[in-house]
Amino acid sequence: MSAVLHKKAFPELTVDELYELLRVRSEVFVVEQDCVYQDMDGDDQASIHLWLTEGDKVVALCRVCPAGTHMQEVSIGRVITTERGKGYGKRIMLEGIAAAREHFDARVIDIEAQEYAKGFYEQVGFQQSSEPFILDGIPHIKMTWKEDRIETQRILFRPWKESDADALFKYAADPDVGPRAGWPPHGSVADSLEVIRKFFSNDHTWALVLKETGEPIGCMGYYPYGESNIGIGENDAELGYWIAKPYWNQGICTEALRAMIDYCFNKKGFQTLWSDFFVDNPASGRVMEKCGFRDTGEINWCSHLYRGDERPVKVMRLDYAL
């Protein structure tokens, strides 16, 4: 069963929803951890509340507090996962980061993490930013997430927002766009919203926003080891992108890809970057070549991509140069 995401501001919560969230918080933080503390601290009213359910059961939750309430910066707290080994903890944190960006325009997010969970929070981009301290009798550390800013003369990279669904559908419904990148044209705004929630809400996928208009006109990101469409090394990444049809042949994609390459090599520390393009979309290959990628001579079939069984892809490679 796939867990369902719920997201509401405090006034939008029903009595039953509020009761269940508080019940789970009390069960974990007070009873299981044998810690007597004031859970209802007055910050819930200003917060965005997120939770995942399997059927009627809450399996993960968190809250996102605006700056100046629980902490000086926007913060995420009350993070709980009741079902282990299913990725719900990582998902609820990524959704929390997305909500912090969406609702509070967060560029910096703080958390008070139990010290033992440091490795978990590092997986979603947080870094330790304080010495250990004791909170409610439990060792904690402050951890901070900072948004990576990538931009060019014409393009600003920013995280996708749910409010982008209309703009995404406007361009992703074009039958000349999606199939070239390996996905079907979007059939509705609801389809676009689902794509944002399911595929774009992470720390390595960005909306390409045209500075002149403020509108998202494409998407770019990378797949780390384990998520790539092709076999790559642990210190490598695969890049992927698309640009809306009205902006083809203006050098925008090349401009953005060069910025992405710089970020991946000099900020993320990847050693080799990979990409691929369908053989019937040579224009994408030319963009890669302009940015330094070279044809490996390898032909690959990606059956999980839209029409991937019908069209092979050419695999391209770019190594970091000292």
| Arithmetic mean of pLDDT over the chain | 93
The set of residues, in sequence order, having a beta carbon less than 8 Å from that of 129 and lying 6+ positions away, is 110, 141, 142, 143, 144
Strands (E), the chain: 4-9, 48-54, 57-65, 74-81, 108-114, 127-128, 133-135, 138-146, 150-151, 155-158, 205-210, 215-224, 236-243, 272-278, 294-300, 313-319
Residue 322 pLDDT: 61
pLDDT in tens, 195-213: 998 899 888 999 999 999 9
Residue 250 pLDDT: 96
Within the chain, which residues score under 70 in pLDDT?
1, 322
Where do the domains of the chain lie, and which CATH numbers do they carry?
A: 4-146 (3.40.630.30), 150-319 (3.40.630.30)
Give SS3 for 313.
strand
Structure tokens, 22? 């508080």
Query: What distance, in Å, lies between the first and last C-alpha atoms of the chain?
Result: 47
pLDDT in tens, 106-118: 999 999 999 999 9
Whole-prediction pTM value?
0.69
**Alpha carbons 265 and 282: distance in angstroms, whole number:** 25
Tokens 């910025």, residue?
A: 259
Backbone angles phi, psi at 289, to 5 degrees: -65, -40
Residue 1 pLDDT: 53
